[in-house]
Amino acid sequence: MPKHKLRIIPLGGLGEIGKNMMALEYGNDIVVIDAGLMFPGEELPGVDLLIPDISYLVERQKSLRGIVITHGHEDHIGALPYVLSRLSTPVYATKFTRELIRVELKQRGVKTDAKLNLVSPGSKITLGNFAIEFFSVCHSIPDCVGLIIHTPLGIVVHSGDFKIDYTPTICEATNFNQLASLGAKGVLLLLSDSTYAELPGYTPSERVVIETLDRIVSGAKGRVIVTTFASLISRVQQVFDVAVKYGRRVFIIGRSMREIVSMALKTGYLTAPPGITCRLDELKTLPHNRVMVLSTGSQGEPTSALVRMANRDPSSRIQIVPGDTVVISATPIPGNEMVVSKTTDSLFRQGANVIYDKLAQVHVHGHGSQEELKLLLSLVRPKFFVPIHGEYRHLSLHASLAQSMSIPKDNTFVLENGDVLELGRDSGEVVDRTHVGVIYVSGLVTGELDGAVLRDRKLLSRDGVVVVTIAIDSEGGKLAERPRIITRGIVDAGEGQKLIEKGRDVVLAALNHDKRRLVEPSFVDAKVKDSLSKFFYERIHRRPIIIPVVVEVGKTHKKPTS
């Protein structure tokens, strides 16, 4: 009989897309799966990225046995630089994933003594009470794995991010036999990717994209510029293949694309005949119908190669000309829709023929749709089920799918970050909710998402700021001059001047109302804030942040500073 219960604690990625991180705990052993980041949208200006709050792990550092990574996407590895600078623990990852982790650590300038251990599909590691086997799954980056975790209570299967692709172009197809034999033996818990639990049917194979690409390139009279995710090596492979077929050479533009393609060629994840890529000077001499370009920028990132082309940035090494075909071989990640649309518009404006997801099947995504999720459920046949990776609606719909396949409702747990699920052999229960805040990174500042800093930024962005200077004659206890007002982000200079003059009158009147109390700074502060808040709301329906600066003048004669 096992001594402890098994605890599952999501620290990120449940009830949201991104920053995936989960702790599995048995007795004094904690294993962490993934450590990702997420990029916020325009609702968090100035915030570069969000990472999980790991205080739960920091407090239990002694029990931490290691971090196991399922694949190399930012939403699974991007928090490692921050995590490893606070926690020293071994990391386990496949080869391609480990390369990306190294890049990530280097880019953030993190030096760590944490060991980056290599694992591969079929290999097995033991971390305390957990014995973990890896099995390959297909997704949109090479070397993805799912996990078979042997615990004293039974087997836990973690799907990683996955789709089922019977004809993958790069990754190994899922090992159904292994999963089916586990299912026959009995699996305690399945943790399965819910990202596309909304979509009925099957996700198409990566292979369908090649047909579209082939058709586009065979008909194109000019250059064909393809943008996709740099790590989507199977897509990059297809671009190389179609280039070879039609006698085009490939120019690669954008730092991350150059880096990852070069790494993938070196490590054998990508195969291409020698001389297929070309340099900038060669590009300039090639006829346009002998050129393909592979570019970053599929998400409309402001400084990416594609966006610079779209905006006719003079520093761009490629300028769009009529006759160019641009293929956006990606879909916008939620939150990026507007910037991707703007980029598409700008490319059309330059005269390009732009082909994107709405017009042709130039992209397939990397997550399983409902029938694939059901297939995994029916292979693994778990006793308990926890949908992972997704917004709440995805988790909820995935749970319904599982219930439709006879997993009892009581054995299905829709968790959110911080929930502590405790499983025995026969029953499970959410026993606690630990506080997991969200940590933002803004430049070199990190902080809690719900702190004052971001709240203030939000207010500033909506309503602007007013600085009011009150000079008080410390001897006379009266105003030494008319209050001064500086505003930013409120009204244009012209009309603003009148408003500001009125505002000065309002402050003056408010302070003069009770002159004896001018010596009390808190009185002055409150009066200024109250009177101006009211004034601005009445006049322009805005509530700017008001910062009173109270200075005593005449002071130097009593307290010289030098």
Catalytic residue list: 193, 367
Among residues 268 and 554, whose Cβ is nearest to its own copies? 554
Q: CA-based angle 468:470:472, to the nearest 5?
A: 175
Binding residue (CB under 8 A) for its own copies from 204, 335, 424, 437: 335
Among residues 391 and 520, whose Cβ is nearest to its own copies? 391
Contact flags string 182-201 toward its own copies, x per CB under 8 A: ----------------xx--
Cα torsion 443, 444, 447, 452 to 10°: value is -60
Q: Report how far residue 67's alpha carbon sits from residue 85's, in angstroms, rounded to the nearest whole number.
A: 14
Binding residue (CB under 8 A) for its own copies from 1, 287, 452, 522: 452
How many residues sit close enough to its own copies to count as binding (CB under 8 A)? Answer: 80
Residue 391: count other Cβ atoms within 10 Å of its Cβ: 17
Among residues 164 and 340, whose Cβ is nearest to its own copies? 340
Q: Does 3 bind its own copies (CB under 8 A)?
A: no
Q: Report how far residue 536's alpha carbon sits from residue 529's, in angstroms, rounded to the nearest whole number.
A: 11
> Helices 521-540 and 493-512 meet at what angle, rounded to 10?
140
Residues in the chain: 562
Q: Which of residues 97-156 bind its own copies (CB under 8 A)?
A: none
Binding residue (CB under 8 A) for its own copies from 95, 447, 508, 525: 447
Among residues 97 and 343, whose Cβ is nearest to its own copies? 343
Q: Does 484 bind its own copies (CB under 8 A)?
A: yes
Residue identified by tokens 């297929």 is: 276
Part of the chain binding its own copies (CB under 8 A), chosen from 40-48, 105-113, 274-282, 424-432: 40-48
Part of the chain binding its own copies (CB under 8 A), chosen from 144-152, 173-181, 361-369, 536-544: 536-544
**Minimum distance from CB of 374 to its own copies (Å)?**
16
Helix, strand, coil tally for the chain in percent (to 5):
35, 25, 40
Residue 31 token pair:
């294993």
Q: CA-based angle 434:437:443, to the nearest 5?
A: 155
Q: Which of residues 543-562 bind its own copies (CB under 8 A)?
A: 545, 547, 549, 551-557, 561-562
| Phi, psi for 102 (deg, rounded to 5) | -60, -45
Among residues 178 and 396, whose Cβ is nearest to its own copies? 396
Three-state secondary-structure class, residue 497 = helix
In the chain, the N- to C-terminal Cα span, in Å, equals 78
**Minimum distance from CB of 486 to its own copies (Å)?**
6
Residue 548 token pair:
């009173």
Binding residue (CB under 8 A) for its own copies from 178, 489, 504, 508: 489
Q: Does 522 bind its own copies (CB under 8 A)?
A: no
Q: Which of 38, 53, 49, 118 is nearest to 86 (CA)?
A: 53
Q: Which of residues 4-33 bind its own copies (CB under 8 A)?
A: 15
Q: Which of residues 202-261 bind its own copies (CB under 8 A)?
A: none
Q: Does 504 bind its own copies (CB under 8 A)?
A: no
Among residues 265 and 360, whose Cβ is nearest to its own copies? 360
Three-state secondary-structure class, residue 201 = coil
Among residues 128 and 204, whose Cβ is nearest to its own copies? 204
Stretch (H or E) spanning 393: helix 392-404
**Minimum distance from CB of 111 to its own copies (Å)?**
19
Q: Does 348 bind its own copies (CB under 8 A)?
A: yes
**Minimum distance from CB of 537 to its own copies (Å)?**
8
Q: Which of residues 358-417 bind its own copies (CB under 8 A)?
A: 358-359, 391-393, 396-397
Cα torsion 341, 344, 349, 352 to 10°: value is -170
Residue 235: count other Cβ atoms within 10 Å of its Cβ: 27
Contact flags string 309-328 toward its own copies, x per CB under 8 A: --------------------
Q: Report how far residue 384's alpha carbon sits from residue 349's, in angstroms, rounded to the nearest whole number.
A: 53
Q: Report how far residue 261's alpha carbon sits from residue 511's, in angstroms, rounded to the nearest whole number.
A: 67
Among residues 144 and 485, whose Cβ is nearest to its own copies? 485
Binding residue (CB under 8 A) for its own copies from 102, 458, 502, 517: 458
| Phi, psi for 309 (deg, rounded to 5) | -60, -45
